[in-house]
Amino acid sequence: MEDIRGFFLLVGEIIDIVGIIILLFGFTKILFKYLFTEFVKSPFKTSIKGLQKIRCQIGIYILLALDFLIASDIIHTIMEITQKQLLELAIMIVLRTGIGFFLGKEIEELHIAEQ
């Protein structure tokens, strides 16, 4: 039983790392895209539409990373469940889901306005 528990904790850690890598990759990619747009493509003349497109793109990476981090939190809590940890998990899921929902709505609105 301890081997199975250790396995799932390892899987949870791997999912955590994947979520963080996605977030860092998206941030780095969008940062370089922003810097290129701001300083090379049209120096200091970035349009609002261009900035909205960049925000939309980083939002997608944030949403994907949040999904991985929620999955990891669920795995970690299931492995060491107490009432306190269950309450903490519920609060984290509600907060992350709320952030994801509103970020998704904003991305959708930016995408519609872009068309």
Confidence of residue 79 (pLDDT cuts 50, 70, 90): confident
Are 50 and 41 a contacting pair, CB within 8 Å? no
Q: Which residues contact 15 (CB under 8 A, 6 or more apart)?
A: 68, 69, 71, 72, 75
The mean of the pLDDT values for the chain is 84
- Contact at 8 Å (CB) between 49 and 114? yes
- Report the 10 Å Cβ neighbour count for 65: 21
Q: Could you read off the pLDDT of 6-53 as tens digits, one per residue?
A: 888 899 999 999 999 999 999 999 999 888 888 887 777 777 777 778
Instruction: Please state, in angstroms and rounded to a whole number, the distance separating the CA atoms of residues 46 and 40.
Output: 10
pTM for the complete prediction?
0.75
Structure confidence at residue 5 as a pLDDT band (50, 70, 90): confident
Per-residue confidence (pLDDT) for residue 16, from 0 to 100:
94
